[in-house]
């Protein structure tokens, strides 16, 4: 499945299939969504560039490398 993250105003929005979720920041530096009860984080390389998205929804985990 392809996941697209884009900035819409002050928010990041994920698009995966027919799901569209606003990514809300948490106090730990991760993010969460309200509609699918998911949470996740962006992983960075040594120079600080985001290289991967890790998303958890209940017991399921999805990791997607940046292309």
Tell me the per-residue pLDDT of 16-63, one tens digit each, with 9 for 90 and over: 888 888 999 988 889 998 877 778 999 999 999 999 999 888 888 988
Q: What is the predicted pLDDT for the residue at 49? A: 94
Q: What is the predicted pLDDT for the residue at 33? A: 87
Per-residue pLDDT band at 65 (split at 50, 70, 90): very high
Q: What is the predicted pLDDT for the residue at 58? A: 82
Q: What is the predicted pLDDT for the residue at 10? A: 93
Sort 55 into a burial class: Cβ within 10 Å, 0-12 / 13-18 / 19+: buried
């Amino acid at each position: 499945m392809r996941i697209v993250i884009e900035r819409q105003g002050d928010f990041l929005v994920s698009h995966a299939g027919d799901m569209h979720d606003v990514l809300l920041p948490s106090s730990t530096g991760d993010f969460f969504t309200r509609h699918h009860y998911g949470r996740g984080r962006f992983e960075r390389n040594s120079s600080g560039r985001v290289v991967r998205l890790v998303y958890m929804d209940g017991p399921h985990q999805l990791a997607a490398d940046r292309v």
